[in-house]
Structure 1
Amino acid sequence: MTETLPEPRTDAPDFPMARSSGCPFDPPSQLRTLQQEKPLSKVRLWDGSTPWVVTRHDQLRTLLGDPRISSDATLPGYPHRSAGSKAGEEHRRTFITMDDPDHARIRRMVTAPFAIRRMEALRPAVQTIVDDLIDAMLAGPKPVNLVQAFALPVPSLVICELLGVPYEDHDFFQRNTKIIVHHGSAPEAVVQALEDLADYLDRLLTAKRANPADDLLSHLLAERVDTGEMTQRDAARMGVLLLGAGHETTANMIALGTLALLEHPEQLAALRATEDPKLVAGAVEELLRYLTIAHSGRRRVALEDIEIDGATIRAGDGVVLTGDIANRDPAAFPDPDRLDITRDARSHVAFGFGVHQCLGQPLARLELQVVYSTLYRRIPTLALATGTDRLRFKGDGAVYGVYELPVTW
């Protein structure tokens, strides 16, 4: 007989939870406790709502693959990350917060440019970008902030090239993206940042109409806007999503992954010494699992009652699926708190799971493979220029990372 878990109690722990001091790479210890003792339980969000939190790897994959779990951010009960996030999601809907068939229809419009084969064709260009930035670092003063000098420019240059956005405008779109992803941003600030970015891309699309190029925005105009499948404003909003997602997450993975490797010198040495692309690719998957920088959880709401592991998630209940602790589930990954670049970590959920898994993951993997196979080989004496305890970590936004990473060699 299925047992219905009790209604939310006033003592539900607050979410998101703080990480333990001195453990910057590990998920909050409270999540580990829940995973061990009560993997399906209630938490309390910023607005007082009490959605379910899912902490086990198998449960997360099951629910993310269940069509009775909705991504529609406009539905009652949807567990928004913050007041700013709620305002932004209500102001402009993207396919990320839609369900099929609308989700599939719109996602298909931009799937082809991110196909694995097309991404692989970009490898020489990404390699050139990485090498040029390393050349500039080596020729300049040290120590250097790796975030600003390398981690942020790499994916920004790549996504600008792919979309057809002038890189000289990177300060503008990076500044606005930071407002959008920060949990503490005021709702009106998030909406304004979204509109400013959409206005910018709208103007860029107008310019491309007169002078089209071989880039994603030009193709959207010709293949989707001019055919009536979407408006130019819709294309601009699509560009906002791709531009932000295309640099923010990978930049944080480059910097945080570098820090994790510097803190695990035996793993760094093995990665630096290898010429095996399979080991490099495996190291990328392991670092994605180990760090899981999308640390706020996938947000969903139940459309129907769902029974899972003796519990019932009721229709209308919010659900937060925590990939960071699911990727540290010992039932899925033996000795999960150990970084091991030889581990087969391909079943991780850092990119989500199911129909809504990250569209840009082939691009992210490519960029990380090039970075992790190049940076430490070309600068073999790379080292932190400060203590880890003096670094500031991004626990206040949708993406985890470090604000600065001073390094020397």
Structure 2
Amino acid sequence: MNTNCRDEPVRPSLDRAPGCPFDPAPSLTALRAQRPIAPLAVPEGAPGVWMITGYDLVRRVLADPRFSSRYETHYHPLAGGRLPPAPVGDLTGMDAPGHTRFRKLLAGKFTVRRMNVLTERITEITRERLDAMQRQGPPADLVEVFAQPVPALVICELLGVPYGERDRFRSSTRALSEAGTAQAQYAAFVELGAYLRELALAKRAEPADDLLSDLATGGDLTDEELGGVAAFLLGAGLDTTANMLALGAFALLGDPARLAVLRGGPDAVAGAVEELLRYLSVAATGMRGVLEEVEVGGRRLQAGDTVVVAINAANRDPARFGDPDVLDLRRSAAGHLAFGHGVHQCLGQQLARVEMRVALAALFARFPSLRLAVPAEELSLRTDPSQVYGVRSLPVTWDRG
């Protein structure tokens, strides 16, 4: 019998503690303190799967090319098997040289001019949504009226969705946001992807001043690649930002000291957003396939193994951040892993930052008395581990002025 507890497989629960909606699952916190890299229990004959919860180890794995992002190298412990290859254009599931080609092409499209134009439109979109919310009056579901529409409309601007089709687009993105299971979310994403492929091909014939037109006319992408990249940009820029806006607002509600930071000017707001990203870490986990034998944290991993990196646990590592379980909007959260690390670090992270800075500051400036309309324990959370974490709805109210 193996009596070395370091080698005993673990079965960590991903359930969060009742009343602690912002904290990682207690089992992940305990693992990080005791065994920052630990083998997961898998069926007999399956390859090794490792859970990594420590900040330094997660950061190292994300930057090491010996750990593959290709989905087919991943053994998913919940699915009980290998994952299929990534769809064409999905940069998240690629390694070099394919990933390098697509990323270089996309990075060149996020120009200073385009970001400046988008920042202006984010400000306008935010004001329009707040106007609509004010006209509607309290109570309101902040997810439905604000957190989900803002990034959806920003994606419309980025990709060049025609104005006449934006209601259809928003209806589809709402279905994506409201999907209760991973299967329903996938079906909604497939529908949106089909629309974007149609739009991408139309841009070849009639280009405009938008990112999708640039890709359609200025790159060497095939029709299939163009549609795939469009779907990837949608997936990367919509659900995560929508849930950060909703969950971020939830974390700020009813705390005058935290809200005062949002009134402290651009630098204070920027710092607050970084701390929210660290503290909430809505994209909680990631996976990598081990390409060759490698040592991590004193453990020997074999080619064919899979690593699950717990981003939310790593961003709460006390070895990296002091008092990590405290939301301190005045701290420097530089170095957090909410956008990943290494060559796969989120391509649109600057756009997501701008959306959060503009939207959250404007929300609480317009509605300083904003508060929950129901007890916090009644809120419905997205608990499926395959989904971006967040709230399904956020009923709020405010004093009419």
The alignment's TM-score, normalised by the length of structure 2, stands at 0.89
User: Structure 1 residue 395 and structure 2 residue 383: aligned?
Assistant: yes
2:385 paired with 1:385? no
Secondary structure in structure 2 of the residue aligned to 1:377 = helix
2:215 corresponds to:
220
- 2:34 is equivalent to residue 53 of structure 1: no
Is the partner of 1:234 in helix, strand or coil? helix
Work out whether 1:99 is the aligned partner of 2:87: no
> 237, 252, 257: which is aligned to 2:243?
252
Using the TM superposition, give the Cα deviation of residue 130 of structure 1 relative to its aligned residue in structure 2, in angstroms.
Answer: 0.6
CA, structure 1 residues 30+137, in 2 after alignment: closer, same or farther (shift >3 Å)?
A: same
Q: Could you tell me how far apart the structure 2 residues matched to 1:79 and 1:400 are?
A: 19
Matched, 1:40 2:29: no
Offset of 1:405 from its aligned partner? Answer: 0.5
Paired residues of 2:182 and 2:387 also in contact (CA < 8 A):
no
Letter in 1 for 2:283: A
| Residue 162 in structure 1 maps to residue 158 in structure 2 | yes
Structure-2 residue corresponding to 1:113: 109
Q: Distance in 2 between matches of 1:260 and 1:194?
A: 28
Cα 1:29–1:163 shift into 2, 3 Å: same
Q: Name the counterpart of 1:65.
A: 63
Unaligned 5+ residue runs, structure 2? none
TM-superposed deviation, 1:114:
2.9
Kept in 2, the 8 Å contact 1:393–1:401? The answer is yes
Q: 1:256 to 1:130 in 2, by over 3 A?
A: same
Q: TM-score, normalised on structure 1?
A: 0.88
Aligned to 1:127: 123
| CA apart distance, 1:310 | 1.7
Distance in 2, Cα, partners of 1:93 & 1:208: 17
Q: 1:45 to 1:185 in 2, by over 3 A?
A: farther
Contact 2:86 2:94 in 1 (8 A): no
Counterpart pick for 2:252 among 252, 261, 269: 261
Alignment of 1:161-240 (within 5 A): 161-165=157-161, 166-174=165-173, 177-178=176-177, 184-185=182-183, 190=186, 193=188, 195-224=190-219, 229-240=220-231
Instruction: For residues 265-296 of structure 1, give each alpha carbon's deviation from its aligned partner in whole angstroms, at most 9, with x where no partner exists.
Output: 4212332x32x21110000000000000001x
Cα offset, 1:169, TM superposition: 1.9
Q: What SS does the corresponding residue of 1:336 show, helix, strand or coil?
A: coil
Is 1:294 aligned to 2:283, yes or no?
yes
Q: Report if aligned partners of 1:143, 1:407 keep a CA contact under 8 Å in 2.
A: yes
Amino acid at match of 1:21: P
Residue 99 of structure 1 and its aligned partner are, at CA, apart by 0.8
Contact 1:126–1:158, Cα closer than 8 Å, also in 2: yes
Q: Distance in 2 between matches of 1:261 and 1:26?
A: 15
The match for 2:267 among 265, 275, 278 is 278
Aligned equivalents of 1:239 and 1:331: distance in 2? 39
Check conservation: 1:282, 1:344, Cα contact below 8 A.
Answer: yes
Bigger CA drift: 31-40 or 304-313? 304-313
Instruction: State how far apart, in whole Å, the 2-side matches of 1:130 and 1:248 are.
Output: 17
Does the 8 Å CA contact 1:14/1:44 hold for their aligned counterparts?
no
- Residue of structure 1 in register with 2:139 after alignment: 143
Distance 1:45 1:345, change over 3 A: farther
Change (3 A) 1:67 1:277: same
Structure 1 position 208, deviation (Å): 2.4
Q: Say which SS state the counterpart of residue 72 (structure 2) adopts.
A: coil
1:220–1:79 distance in 2 versus 1, CA, 3 Å: same
Name stretches of at least 5 consecutive residues in structure 1 with no aligned partner: none
**Which residue identity lines up with residue 244 of structure 1 in the other structure?**
G
CA 1:36 to 1:116, structure 2 compared with 1: closer, same or farther past 3 Å?
farther
Check whether the contact 2:172–2:192 (CA below 8 A) recurs between aligned residues: yes
Closer, same or farther in 2 for the Cα pair 1:98/1:394, shift >3 Å?
Answer: same
- Tell me whether 349-358 or 305-314 shows the greater mean CA deviation: 305-314
Answer whether contact 1:12 1:50 (CA < 8 A) is retained: no
Contact persistence 2:91–2:99 (CA under 8 A) = yes
| Separation in structure 2 between the aligned mates of residue 247 and residue 46 of structure 1, nearest angstrom | 35
More displaced 10-residue stretch of structure 1: 302-311 or 248-257: 302-311
**Which residue of 2 is the match for residue 343 of structure 1?**
331
Q: Supply the distance in 2 between the matched residues of 1:408 and 1:201 (Cα, whole angstroms).
A: 36
- CA shift, 1:59, in A, is 0.9
Alpha-carbon contact 2:37-2:51 (below 8 Å) kept: yes
What is the CA deviation profile of residues 105-128 of structure 1, one whole-angstrom value per residue up to 9, with x for unaligned ones? 111121123356642442221111
- Shift in alpha-carbon separation, 1:182–1:392, aligned structure 2, 3 A: closer
Q: 1:132, CA displacement in angstroms?
A: 1.2
% identity of equivalent residues: 43
Distance apart, 1:209 and its partner CA: 3.0
Match of 1:24 in 2: 21
Aligned residues: 390
Q: Does the 8 Å CA contact 1:82/1:184 hold for their aligned counterparts?
A: no
Contact kept? 1:80, 1:86, Cα under 8 Å? no
- Aligned mate of 1:352, from 334, 340, 346: 340
d(CA) in 1 for partners of 2:225, 2:77: 23
Deviates most, 195-204 or 308-317: 195-204
In structure 2, distance between residues paired with 1:157 and 1:42: 42
* 2: CA distance, partners of 1:353 / 1:317: 21
Gap change, CA 1:234 and 1:113, over 3 Å in 2? same
